[in-house]
Chain A
Amino acid sequence: MSGVGSFFAMGGYAAYLWPAYAVFFAVLIADTLAPRLRRRRLLRELNARMARKRARDSGGAVSTPRLPEQSP
């Protein structure tokens, strides 16, 4: 058997060894990506909230027009 072939065969234990390593990497990659996605979503959310606040502060009735008969 060639060197590379015997490396991947792992003395007959390939069916146990490689899935174990696959799980190790898959779980850690998921653990790395999850907070990155959450961060991106959060920044977008905060940005939108700030934009709404700016629009409100500048007096423009951009997103929430107030109905006169409902105001006290």
Chain B
Amino acid sequence: MSSNWIPLWLHKLSSPPTFYRFAGTLQPWAMTLALLLGAIALYGGLVLAPSDYQQGDAYRIIFIHVPSAWMSMFIYGVMGIAAFVALVWRIKLAEVVAMESAPIGAAFTFITLVTGSLWGKPMWGTWWTWDARLTSELVLLFLYLGVIGLYHAFEDRRQGARAAAFLAIIGIINVPIVHFSVNWWNTLHQGSTINLFGQSKMSSAMLWPLLTMMLATKFYYIASLFSRVRTDLLSLEGGKDWVRKIVEKEAGQ
């Protein structure tokens, strides 16, 4: 904590009572934006966008499948970075962010696998196949579950967080494997539709709902993470003065 290259504001923000208040202010806004953008994206994707010339209306699963898949990898990245910070600098907030990201990441990975399966059945004729993309995404789910399990396997929460953080860091190797699996191996899974640099293989009527849903899931993650982190901070700092004040205030209502 004495490293002076950490900016002062970041140092202040990582103090539990400050972050508790900060997250409490932002959380409702993040959730509102998530719901609003999600509703717009759903309208665009399910009503306005035309059906696909090859896949008919089945392709509309893309509007939840692909944003969820992106989140499954993005959240793993955040978890990995937070886990690294937690192990190196022993910052309590980083531990909590890493550990509370895991269940949200697991939720999005589960959604990705199930919606992919429901998409695969009519398009490929099978619910599941052991190809590179599907298998590496399943491994991602097991990594999330492993982190959650390891965290809860220890009597001491902070010791559990450190063990789980270690697993989270090792598992980061799987994220590029998921991402590049469709290029590295011959898979049944289709290649990337969206290209960050250059032309995307999608008409704009389909593209904007997809990108809007991507934003919605990002805001959802912020909202869910903040509400989880707040609860965890109260629990970890149970005996402290700032928590006592909050408990008294909430009980008085």
Contacts and interface: CB of A to CB of B under 8 A. Distances in A.
Given A24-B64, A24-B115, A46-B238, A13 B58 contact: yes
Given A27-B107, A27-B110, A31-B107, A36 B58 contact: no
A63 B210 CA distance: 59
B111 interface: yes
A15 B10 CA distance: 49
B155 interface: no
A7 to B, nearest CB: 7
Contacts of B228: 35
A10 B234 contact: no
B51 interface: yes
Contacts of B60: 10, 13, 17
Nearest to B31: A32
Given A27-B111, A28-B107, A38 B61 contact: no
B1 interface: no
A1 interface: no
A13 B228 CA distance: 36
A47 to B, nearest CB: 5
A59 interface: no
A5 B228 CA distance: 40
A10 B51 CA distance: 9
B235 interface: yes
Interface stretch (B117-125, B160-168, B194-202): B117-125
Interface in B25-60: 46-47, 51, 56-58, 60
Given A10-B60, A27-B107, A39-B231, A20 B251 contact: no
Contacts of A35: 224, 227-228, 231
Nearest to B56: A11
A39 to B, nearest CB: 4
A6 B222 CA distance: 36
Nearest to A46: B247
A11 B234 contact: no
Contacts of B56: 11-13
B45 to A, nearest CB: 10
Contacts of A7: 46-47
Given A16-B122, A36-B227, A46 B220 contact: no
B119 A20 contact: yes
Nearest to B228: A35
B57 A13 contact: yes
Given A20-B61, A24-B68, A27-B107, 15 more contacts: A11-B58, A20-B64, A20-B119, A21-B64, A23-B115, A24-B64, A27-B111, A28-B107, A31-B107, A31-B224, A32-B223, A32-B227, A34-B103, A46-B247, A50-B244
Interface of A: 7, 10-13, 16-17, 19-21, 23-24, 27-28, 30-32, 34-36, 38-39, 42-43, 46-47, 49-50
